[in-house]
Homo-oligomer: A and B are copies of this chain.
Amino acid sequence: MAKPLKMGLIGFGNIGCGVIQALQDNRDLLDARCPRPLELRRVCDVDLRRPRPVEVDSALLTNDAQEVIGDPDIDVVIELVGGIEPARTLVEAALRAGKHVVTANKAMLARHGAELLALAAEKKVRLLFEAAVGGGMPVIRVLTECLAANRITRIEGILNGTCNYILTRMSAAGLSFEDALADAQKNGYAEPDPTADVESIDAANKIAILAALAFGLDIRYEDVSREGISKLTHDDLKAAAINGYVIKQRAVAEMDEDGGVAVSVRPTLLWKDHPLARVDGVLNGMIIEAWPVGAIHLVGPGAGPRPTASAVLSDVMALSALDERNAPPPPFLTIPVREKPSAHIEASCDGYWLRILSSSEFGAVADVARILTKHRVPTEWIEEEPQPAAGSDGALKTIRVFTGEASEEAVGRAVADFNAAAWCPPESPVLVLPLIQETSAPNWGSESGEMPSSLSPI
């Protein structure tokens, strides 16, 4: 009989309950599949009195994390506290104590992942984090194991189920942002303080982790260009839909031929047949473009106790398959400390979509066209909506522009001119969203024999 893999869980909240529930419900199957039996030895939380949906032997419970980290019997610490501190300190202490760590903590990893992974390597233990990105959608293992032989060129995804739910409700039910947010909160899909979700902080954490792994660079939260979704109106989504586009909170990480890297999260117009345009509600979705595979598209539940438990336990099972007599093999892909991209570049797109509010009865459209021409931004389409802008008491009109391919810099100069124009209400600056055309749908693996020159080994 193999020695049990002894686990200490820190953070007995919703996710922790989901993990314990899955351990109990799938006990038979886990016993049959794991090379070492999984044994839950400790469950730690600051608040042990709160009622919970799972039963745990009270002898396992503690409110002192040291009783987990300091217990020489425990092989694996499962960190489900969330947030940056004290989680980081706990994880560091666990690794220093020679314990494997399994965590779902994206905020911590997007800031301290490189150092923690280096510490794990030094201590000859593993730090695993499938649950940190994509919930039950196994993006970390797909990227770092299934596609490990590939040169990754682009990752794009919908990585925040809260925002995706809000945008889906705004689009499908005609709700305002505020009403869709309230609806999400009512349904348990958004926190009472929704800032981390709607300001794209959560998705930025996730794309930073994916970009760092994919490109083998020290890319962190602060390297991500980030824009929230709270400025979007139902009219914006409707106007986009009329033209065949869906607005999604799109996270993207790309590398260009010179090793420059773009990492951003922002609301983006996606052509309606784009695979991510069809990922609705609380689902997450990802596209990974890589050589030689072509492209892989993955959709799944991005959050919730049960999907997250699936991810946490896949990490625990991987640990149960390690040879306990020897150091574990290093991961195929990791995040190096202080290896920065050669340059931060703009994520590629096929044009921009501008929403410009104007207080002028006449002339603003001509002014908009003149300014775009001046900055050499090609214009595919300009329209002034006949009805007044929503919420403006009839005082403001909406002008919408689809540009052709243009540099973000040129568009930025035009937008600065718009915002300075007499007809632009200072409280409503121009909204600029990138747009992705049908022609930029993923390359699913061309049958041409040539490797794109941008992918040539250096």
Chain A interface (Cβ < 8 Å from any Cβ of B): 18, 21-22, 25-30, 32-35, 53, 130, 136-138, 141-142, 145-151, 188, 216, 275, 278, 281-283, 290-301, 304-307, 309-310, 313-314, 316-318, 321-323, 325-326, 329-330, 332-333, 444-445, 447, 449, 451, 455-458
Report whether B332 and A457 are in contact in the complex, using a CB–CB cutoff of 8 Å: no
CB distance from A144 to the nearest CB of B (A): 9
CB distance from A427 to the nearest CB of B (A): 38
Assuming the contacts A138-B296, A307-B294, A332-B34, asked whether A301 and B146 have C-beta atoms less than 8 A apart, the reply is no
Assuming the contacts A22-B292, A137-B296, A149-B314, asked whether A444 and B306 have C-beta atoms less than 8 A apart, the reply is no
What CA separation (Å) do A322 and B328 show in the bound complex?
A: 9
What CA separation (Å) do A307 and B325 show in the bound complex?
A: 36
Q: A38: nearest residue on chain B (CB-CB)? A: B149
Give the chain B neighbours of A449 by CB distance below 8 A. 53
Report whether A283 and B444 are in contact in the complex, using a CB–CB cutoff of 8 Å: yes
In the complex, given contacts A26-B150, A138-B147, A294-B306, what are 6 additional A-B residue pairs having Cβ atoms less than 8 angstroms apart?
Answer: A25-B456, A26-B457, A138-B142, A150-B310, A292-B310, A321-B329
Q: A330: nearest residue on chain B (CB-CB)? A: B35
Give the chain B neighbours of A141 by CB distance below 8 A. 141, 145-146
In-complex Cβ contact of A28 among B130, B137, B278, B457 (8 A) = B457
In-complex Cβ contact of A332 among B295, B317, B333 (8 A) = B317
In-complex Cβ contact of A304 among B130, B295, B322, B445 (8 A) = B445
Report whether A142 and B151 are in contact in the complex, using a CB–CB cutoff of 8 Å: no
Report whether B294 and A297 are in contact in the complex, using a CB–CB cutoff of 8 Å: no
CB distance from A433 to the nearest CB of B (A): 24
Report whether A304 and B447 are in contact in the complex, using a CB–CB cutoff of 8 Å: yes
Assuming the contacts A142-B146, A304-B445, A310-B150, asked whether A293 and B25 have C-beta atoms less than 8 A apart, the reply is no
Report whether A329 and B323 are in contact in the complex, using a CB–CB cutoff of 8 Å: yes
Assuming the contacts A138-B296, A293-B136, A293-B306, asked whether A149 and B301 have C-beta atoms less than 8 A apart, the reply is no
Report whether B306 and A457 are in contact in the complex, using a CB–CB cutoff of 8 Å: no
Give the chain B neighbours of A146 by CB distance below 8 A. 130, 138, 141-142, 146, 314
Report whether A307 and B292 are in contact in the complex, using a CB–CB cutoff of 8 Å: yes
Q: Which of A141, A325, A456 has the most C-beta atoms of chain B within 10 angstroms of its own C-beta?
A: A141
Report whether A292 and B21 are in contact in the complex, using a CB–CB cutoff of 8 Å: yes
Report whether B326 and A33 are in contact in the complex, using a CB–CB cutoff of 8 Å: no
Give the chain B neighbours of A296 by CB distance below 8 A. 136-138, 298-300
Report whether B332 and A301 are in contact in the complex, using a CB–CB cutoff of 8 Å: no
21 A-B pairs within 8 Å (CB atoms) are namely A26-B149, A26-B150, A26-B291, A27-B457, A28-B457, A30-B149, A33-B332, A137-B296, A141-B141, A146-B146, A146-B314, A148-B317, A149-B317, A283-B444, A290-B310, A292-B306, A293-B307, A296-B300, A301-B445, A321-B329, A322-B329
Q: Which of A141, A297, A310, A457 has the most C-beta atoms of chain B within 10 angstroms of its own C-beta?
A: A310
CB distance from A53 to the nearest CB of B (A): 6
Report whether A149 and B292 are in contact in the complex, using a CB–CB cutoff of 8 Å: no
CB distance from A389 to the nearest CB of B (A): 33
Report whether A28 and B314 are in contact in the complex, using a CB–CB cutoff of 8 Å: no
Give the chain B neighbours of A188 by CB distance below 8 A. 447
Q: Which of A292, A332, A445 has the most C-beta atoms of chain B within 10 angstroms of its own C-beta?
A: A292
Report whether A22 and B149 are in contact in the complex, using a CB–CB cutoff of 8 Å: yes
What CA separation (Å) do A316 and B32 show in the bound complex?
A: 26
